[in-house]
């Protein structure tokens, strides 16, 4: 495994829309393994591929309920229980702020083998999923701060 460089908010790549993943080969697994090592080393809760300059719709999340989850090509099926919580981002070091997010989320996604999964996420796990999905669309939490 190898650690990757996390790009910051001033890098224009962070604003790009990521592409659908359609190749579930060992090369993808290697990228995901490297993202995991990068996330652990950075002491974060979640990391989207765009944050290491890879413009594909995938992210790793350290959930409370399920442990490590890889979400690839996620689709939000249900989002409810909107609440405001404080969050930060590895691409925005030193910044935190209050964002309104759903705390109940049903997500369809693919795993690293391309198999379709459906899972329910609660509380900060749901917040983290939404934060990472925003990254896939070039959106940062600082765009959504409560006044």
- Residue number, 89 or 126, with CB nearest to Co ion: 89
Catalytic residue among 30, 108, 132, 146: 132
- Residue number, 89 or 129, with CB nearest to Co ion: 89
Residue nearest to Co ion according to CB distances in the complex: 89
Q: How far is the CB of 81 from Co ion (least distance, A)?
A: 21
CA distances from 10 to 47, 63, 92, 121, 131 (A): 17, 28, 9, 31, 18
- Residue number, 25 or 43, with CB nearest to Co ion: 43
**Adjacent-strand bridge partners of 25:** none
Closest CA to 52 of 99, 107, 94, 11: 11
Q: What is the total count of residues that contact Co ion (CB under 5 A)? A: 1
Residue list 95-124, contact with Co ion (CB under 5 A): none
Give yes or no for residue 89 binding Co ion (CB under 5 A).
Answer: yes
Q: How far is the CB of 146 from Co ion (least distance, A)?
A: 17
Active site residue 132: yes
Q: How far apart are CA 70 and CA 119, in angstroms?
A: 12
**Backbone phi and psi for residue 43, each to the nearest 5 degrees, phi listed first:** 60, 40
- Residue number, 22 or 93, with CB nearest to Co ion: 93
Six-digit token string for 47: 């990391």
Closest CA to 62 of 17, 114, 121, 135: 121
Positions marked active-site: 132
Sites of contact with Co ion (CB under 5 A): 89
């Amino acid at each position: 495994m190898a650690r990757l460089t996390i790009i910051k908010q001033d890098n224009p790549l962070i604003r790009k829309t990521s592409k659908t993943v359609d190749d579930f080969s060992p090369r993808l697994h290697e990228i995901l393994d490297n993202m995991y090592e990068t996330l652990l080393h950075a002491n974060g809760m979640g990391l989207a591929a765009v944050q290491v300059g890879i413009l594909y719709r995938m992210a790793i999340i350290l959930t409370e309920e399920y442990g490590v989850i890889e979400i690839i090509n996620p689709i939000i099926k249900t989002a409810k229980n909107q609440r405001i919580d404080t969050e930060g981002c590895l691409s925005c070091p030193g910044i935190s702020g209050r964002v309104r997010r759903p705390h109940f989320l049903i997500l369809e996604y693919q795993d690293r083998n391309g198999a379709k999964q459906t899972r329910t996420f609660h509380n900060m796990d749901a917040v983290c999923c939404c934060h990472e999905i925003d990254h896939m669309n070039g959106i940062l939490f600082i765009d959504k701060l409560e006044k």
